[in-house]
Amino acid sequence: VTDEVVEAFARLMPQLSTSSKAPGKAAIAAMVAAEANTILLARSEDGTIVGTLTLVMFRIPTGLRTRIEDVVVDQAAGRKGFGTALTAEAISIARAAGAKTVDLSTRPSREAAGRLYEKMGFEIRSTRVYRYHVTGGAG
Ligand SMILES: CC(C)(COP(=O)(O)OP(=O)(O)OC[C@H]1O[C@@H](n2cnc3c(N)ncnc32)[C@H](O)[C@@H]1OP(=O)(O)O)[C@@H](O)C(=O)NCCC(=O)NCCS
């Protein structure tokens, strides 16, 4: 977890969520150390980190569950295939780990993300997505 990585998350996270604070060095170290996480970074040709994706894999009674989370590509490097490359790599890692499915969720307003995932073969699954607010604030 270098300063370059900390800088990259500080630049990328506001482009994903306005309500979450970008993780600092200690938080990124904890993310990386978490056994379930595989954190991917995409670099442009000049070496700049232009995107990230977190693949989460964990075992539950029904088997290995894998989820793609927090996908973001710098707007300045958008539409060049980085989002596709990150997602394809996550699928390949999940496959190698023995996963049969990869889940993700995305808000309908995220049109680019929806196109990207559907283009890659993700299918909408009918399920109820619930959230319980533990604290009063937005979560
Ligand atoms: C969604 C996101 C990750 C896509 O990254 P990207 O590197 O631009 O994606 P790619 O270049 O691989 O594009 C793949 C496909 O996604 C769709 N897409 C990407 N950007 C788009 C845009 N601005 N408008 C419409 N469709 C878009 C297109 O179908 C594109 O294929 P095409 O260029 O051949 O038409 C990026 O736009 C992003 O970070 N958005 C903000 C954060 C976000 O919504 N994250 C997803 C959370 S679930």
What band does 135 get if pLDDT is binned at 50, 70 and 90?
A: confident
Residue 111 tokens read as 């049109």
Average pLDDT over residues 65-88: 98
Q: What order of strands is seen across the sheet that includes strand 63-73?
A: 37-43, 49-60, 63-73
**CA of residue 21 to ligand 1 center, whole Å:** 22
pLDDT tier, 21 (very low <50, low <70, confident <90, very high otherwise) = very high
For residue 128, pLDDT beyond 70: yes
Could you tell me if the CB of 55 is within 6 A of ligand 1? no
pLDDT computed for residue 7 by the predictor = 98
Supply the residue whose CA is at minimum distance from atom 15 of ligand 1.
116
Whether 81 lines ligand 1, by a CB cut-off of 6 Å, is yes
Average pLDDT value for residue range 32-56: 98
Task: Give how far Cα 130 sits from Cα of 46, 105, 133, Å.
Answer: 42, 12, 10
Instruction: Return the best residue to mutate from 79, 89, 118 for the ligand 1 pocket (most ligand atoms within 8 A of CB).
Output: 79
**The tokens 């977190």 sit on which residue?**
54
The residue among 11, 1, 90 whose CA lies nearest residue 44 is 11
pLDDT computed for residue 112 by the predictor: 98
| Ligand 1 close to Cβ of residue 72 (< 6 A) | yes
Is the distance from the beta carbon of residue 110 to the nearest atom of ligand 1 less than 6 Å?
yes
**What does pLDDT average to over the chain?**
96
pTM to 2 decimal places:
0.96
The pLDDT of residue 136: 73
What average pLDDT does the segment 7-27 reach? 96
CB 28 within 8 A of CB 1: yes
Ligand 1: nearest atom to the Cα of 104: 48
Instruction: Tell me what pLDDT residue 138 has.
Output: 56
